[in-house]
A and B are shown apart, each in its own frame.
Chain A
Amino acid sequence: MARTGVFVCHCGTNIAGTVDIDQSVEASRGFPGVVHAGEYRYLCSEMGQDLIKNAIEEHNLDRVVVGTCSPRMHENTFRKAAAEAGLNPYMLEVANIREHCSWVHREMDEATPKAIALLRAAAAKVALNDPLDIPELDVEKRALIIGGGIAGIQAALDIAEAGYVVDIVEREPSIGGRMAQLEKTFPTLDCSACILTPKMVEAAQHPNVNLITYSEIDEVKGFVGQFDVKIRQKARSVDSVKCTGCGICWEKCPSKAPSEFEMGMAKRKAIYVPFPQAVPNVPVIDRDNCLYFKKGRCQICAKECPPEAIDFEQQDVVIERRYGAIIVATGFDQLDPSIYGEYGYGQHPDILTGLEFERLFNASGPTGGKVVRLSDGKPPRNVVFIQCIGSRDKARGMNYCSKICCMFTAKQAILLKEKVPDARSYVFYIDVRTAGKGYEEFQRRAAEEYDVAYLRGQVGKIFPEEDHLVVHGVDSLSGKIVEIKADMVVLAAASIARCDAPEVGRKVGINSDSYHFFNEAHPKLRPVETHTAGVFIAGACQAPKDIPDTVAQASAAAVKAIGLLSKEKLQGEACTAEVIQDECSGCLNCIAVCPYTAITEVEIEERHHGGTLKRTVAQVNPSLCQGCGSCTATCRSGSINLKGFTNEQILAEVDAICL
């Protein structure tokens, strides 16, 4: 017979406020198998854990139920406590009487009976618990980083410095990401390239870092410590080993296409590096625009290339590699503001997004660093910045703040004044948000020293008139309608999740919020982990973020990955499926539903009417099994069970809840 102890937590008033603790304890005493019941103000505290440990010894308990917060919060805490008192950690069950009870019900006469029902179910389940062993797993001492922006680079360097090999997979031909597109960074006005490119080069030259550029993730299988990843390296059409990056090919190439890096504001050649500081400095051939691939003639690049590095026959290569940990740092996209008809984006060359305007300042940008109107090449006198394009817009379901726009707008207004001294900037804003070290001071400088007019209000319409744009807006502080003759309009378009974020999340096993940003495991306490063990996130793929936050998060993710890689063995999943081979009929339907190929068919010998009989049955590999239990529901003969969630345990919970 079970000797169960039940412990009910007050959680201050979080539980005790709506659940009658005394009544719950009293009721628990009457559950089958319960020999002791107690309560404590904070069970998760050291004192609370000691209370459990002492009771285990004093009452000779062999299993424990705690009525506390969600098992997703403290199950491990209590399992550890039970283990310290000599129990197998799996001889414990959690009744979630906080998140699923006291916090969602307001009345005590409603929450208390429910809490008792949940405790009763946990007690019924724990009576059927068996001690479980935690399998030990190997760790592949190699990390994968998806995304080669500043987050990916920083994480890679940190991991490499700790002595582990790390691969960066970057979709574009060069690492660098969004930060490479920026001219200056707020609030210090550091030249972005000047602080980024040394890190790019460091990553390229570090003996522990491998750059796998122009590549994408095809498939991720496996689990923490042993992720098996297929990386598709797209055909570059250039031999990276032979190429010296001399640049003759892209000088001679006769075919042009819009540059992705310049967001279509400038042209690049069909053989190109995305920007001058590209790392690796090896071009790619854009086969959609190359004359040879289109028409079968040209090959000028191949004729001109001194080391004969051009290889038109190159094919996509799939690299298969095993990794212990994965960091996803895929960054963000900028919203296309043309969904807002009133701003006229896309209909006039002088209406730009923030990122497009940024490129005008850059010496290698579309205008060679001259801030001029794209329509007529003249420097702008009046520039209107409009904030929150697609941010904080409840009507369109984009409720969040993009966080960086207030600051980059202040930066661009300052840079503009420096480049075009008689220019005047107007900023339409909802609120100016400048939380961050030195940010408020920076924005104040823009307003006070750089003559930037901040207008609290929104713009209703922008239309061209003669050689300028008329911006119709409201200044809500003065209550007046404002009309500005602008030479340029810059839209602070929202930072949004990458368009393929859901696909990447699905491949790697990260879930997303309603805006498709990746979810961290806990919003406060586990900001870089995900719910998939061994997969971490960093940078703007999690939420809009500035560079300092991105770098900090990247280093944090790196530390988590290093911690994982430094382990000799990892603890695997204890709740795995198990086949009762005597009962298995060998239909092997379970193999088809197992997502981890953890089930194989084996032949067993059985005694049968005096002789032996060979028979095919299923067998689970516990180090591959992740414990989803799909096989158990598929099994016709009910001969697979899932440890920790057995059929008997779940039915016992059902029975107890329905009492």
Chain B
Amino acid sequence: MSVGVKEKAAGWEPLIVAFCCNWCSYAGGDLAGTSRLTYPSNVKVIRVPCSGRMNPMFVLRAFQRGADGVIVAGCHPGDCHYSTGNYSARRRLSAFKRLVEFAGFEPERFEVRWISSSEGDKFAEEMTGITERIKALGPNGKMRDARWQKKA
């Protein structure tokens, strides 16, 4: 029996790791807070300076350690604080997503979104959206490292 089925039975809640660039998406998340919007607490944000900083290794590590979904959020194309970081991110991460799919993993578990610092509402929507999609998809059983035990 896979990990997923067992957990689903016991009121399973997905874990979503969100990597947000400091200048747009993290600030968008701040704005969601200041505007008192809500999104599921399944989402936990890790701040990176730029979406261009995102090494696909970070995403793999999150899945390996038991994340059920990962979202990378950066400035809109053209609006990167560092002018071109999100373009590198776009190329690298879309190639990565295809690779993940090729390896037999559900590509829906990994998303890239552009959220500006003024889009608090979009931040909340995207975070709610991915949580709902992952809930429907069920737990990540394929890429989880069995040696990495989830603490009770």
Contacts and interface: CB of A to CB of B under 8 A. Distances in A.
B57 A647 contact: yes
Given A595-B82, A658-B15, A103 B36 contact: yes
Nearest to B79: A511
Contacts of B92: 633
B117 interface: yes
Contacts of B84: 593, 595, 630
B107 to A, nearest CB: 20
A575 interface: yes
B33 A632 contact: no
Interface in B1-59: 15, 17, 22-24, 26-27, 29-30, 32-34, 36-39, 41, 44-50, 52-58
Given A658-B15, A658-B17, A630 B30 contact: no
A70 interface: yes
Nearest to B84: A595
B135 interface: no
B29 A628 contact: no
Interface string A381-401: 000000000000000000000
Interface in A487-537: 502, 505-506, 509, 511-514, 519, 531-532
Interface string A646-659: 01001101110111
A531 B23 contact: yes
A653 B33 contact: no
Contacts of B57: 647, 651
Contacts of B133: none
Interface in B60-98: 61-62, 65-67, 75, 78-79, 81-85, 88-89, 92
Interface stretch (A76-84, A109-117, A130-138, A294-302): A109-117
A629 interface: yes
B131 interface: no
Contacts of A118: 44-45
Contact of A509 (B47, B83, B119): B83
Contact of A575 (B49, B52, B148): B49
B117 A511 contact: yes
B82 A628 contact: yes
Interface residues of A, number: 54
A653 B44 CA distance: 11
A654 B65 contact: yes
Interface in A63-83: 70-73
B61 to A, nearest CB: 5
Contact of B41 (A105, A596, A647): A105
Contact of B118 (A73, A513, A630): A513
B33 A633 contact: no
B151 interface: yes
B16 to A, nearest CB: 10
A628 B41 contact: no
Contacts, number: 155
Contacts of A72: 22, 26-27, 30
A629 B41 CA distance: 28
A431 interface: no
B117 A627 contact: no
A104 B58 contact: no
Contacts of B46: 121, 650, 653-654, 657
Contacts of B30: 70, 72-73, 96, 99-100
Contacts of B130: none
Nearest to A14: B33
Contacts of A514: 118-119
A106 interface: yes
A658 B67 contact: yes
Interface string A573-616: 00100000000000000000101100000000000000000000
Nearest to A118: B44
Contacts of A596: 82
Nearest to B82: A628
Given A104-B38, A654-B65, A659-B150, A645 B48 contact: yes
Chain B interface size band reads 35 or more
Name which of B33, B45, B65 has the most chain A CB atoms within 10 A of its CB. B33
Contact of A104 (B32, B52, B116): B32
Contacts of A556: none
Nearest to A515: B118
Name which of A117, A531, A628, A658 has the most chain B CB atoms within 10 A of its CB. A628
A114 B117 CA distance: 23
B62 A633 contact: no
A409 interface: no
Contact of A658 (B23, B48, B66): B66
B49 A511 contact: no
B124 interface: yes
A655 B82 contact: no
A171 interface: no
B5 to A, nearest CB: 20
B66 A629 contact: no
A630 B85 contact: yes
A630 B54 CA distance: 8
Contacts of B151: 659
A99 B34 contact: yes
A648 B103 CA distance: 25
Name which of A626, A630, A655 has the most chain B CB atoms within 10 A of its CB. A630
A268 interface: no
A642 interface: yes
B126 to A, nearest CB: 13
A634 interface: yes
Given A630-B50, A658-B15, A519 B26 contact: no
A232 interface: no
B4 to A, nearest CB: 16
A322 interface: no
A519 B117 contact: yes
Contacts of A642: 49, 53
A511 B24 contact: yes
Contacts of A595: 82-85
A98 interface: yes
Given A514-B118, A659-B150, A629 B38 contact: no
A650 B49 contact: no
A629 B23 contact: no
Closest 3 CB pairs of A and B: A99-B33, A629-B53, A658-B65
Given A71-B47, A101-B41, A642-B53, 19 more contacts: A70-B30, A72-B30, A96-B47, A100-B45, A103-B36, A104-B39, A511-B79, A511-B118, A513-B118, A531-B23, A575-B49, A595-B84, A628-B52, A629-B85, A633-B52, A651-B58, A658-B17, A658-B65, A658-B148
29 contacts: A70-B30, A71-B47, A72-B30, A73-B30, A96-B30, A96-B45, A99-B32, A100-B29, A101-B41, A114-B41, A117-B44, A502-B78, A509-B81, A511-B79, A513-B118, A514-B119, A532-B81, A595-B85, A628-B50, A628-B81, A628-B82, A633-B89, A647-B57, A650-B58, A651-B58, A654-B17, A654-B62, A657-B17, A658-B65
